[in-house]
Amino acid sequence: MKVGRVLVTEEQIATRLAEMGQSITEDYEGKDLLLVAVLKGAFMVMADLVRHIRLPIDIDFMAVSSYGEATHTSGVVRILKDLDREIAGRHVLIVEDIIDSGLTLEYLRRNLEVREPASLEIATLLLKSGLQRVPIAVKYIGFEIPPDFVIGYGLDLVGKMRNLPYVAVMEE
């Protein structure tokens, strides 16, 4: 497999994240907002998105594993790193790189819901159209993309390619 066509450019990502940050700023004005990024993939979205949020936010990270080393969803989600603190009564926004089957996020949402946050919403840079196996309410979506396997901007192929500044499709 090799890196194929660029699907979302560096510039498009920057522009969209600025817009999303602006929306988040307006929506959470006066609220205690905690952004939770899902490692490792969402580390880059998180870093760039928070720079456009003009609020005194807090950040935390969770690490989950759903793919193992393959390019298909197993449906099995394991928490490798949990949040550092309690989230009861706080407004929580999960930051994701990509939603594919939605199984990872569905698991995460349920897991966080029982901790009784004041609200729990999702922001994702990428959403693969029509692949969700469970209905998921996503408040902020960067781009809807075709169901191809993509890499770059945090997204990996067996651990590599995360450092590419754009999102590209993988080709045979």
Position 67 contacts ligand IMP (CB under 6 A) = yes
With H, G, I as helix, E, B as strand and everything else as coil, classify residue 95: strand
Q: Are 134 and 100 within 8 A, CB to CB?
A: no
Position 100 contacts ligand IMP (CB under 6 A) = yes
DSSP string, 154-165: TB-BTTB-TT-S
Q: Are 8 and 145 within 8 A, CB to CB?
A: yes
Strands 91-99 and 150-151: unpaired
In angstroms, how far is the first alpha carbon of the chain from the final one? Answer: 4
Other CB atoms within 10 Å distance of the CB of residue 170: 18
**Residue 103 binds which entry of ligand IMP, Mg ion, none, with Cβ cut-offs from 5 to 8 Å by kind?**
ligand IMP
Catalytic residue, chosen from 48, 84, 100, 156, is 100
Binding site for Mg ion (CB under 5 A): 41
27 is a catalytic site residue: no
**Residue 97 binds which entry of ligand IMP, Mg ion, none, with Cβ cut-offs from 5 to 8 Å by kind?**
ligand IMP
Position 98 contacts ligand IMP (CB under 6 A) = yes
- CB of 28 or CB of 35, closer to ligand IMP: 35
Residue from 49, 123, 127, 150 touching ligand IMP (CB under 6 A): that is: 150
**Residue 121 binds which entry of ligand IMP, Mg ion, none, with Cβ cut-offs from 5 to 8 Å by kind?**
none
CA distances from residue 8 to 11, 14, 34, 38, 65 in whole angstroms, order as listed? 8, 10, 27, 21, 25
Q: How far is the CB of 136 from ligand IMP (least distance, A)?
A: 9
Q: Which residues are catalytic?
A: 100
What is the contact surface with ligand IMP in residues (CB under 6 A)? 38, 41, 66-67, 73, 96-105, 149-151, 155-156
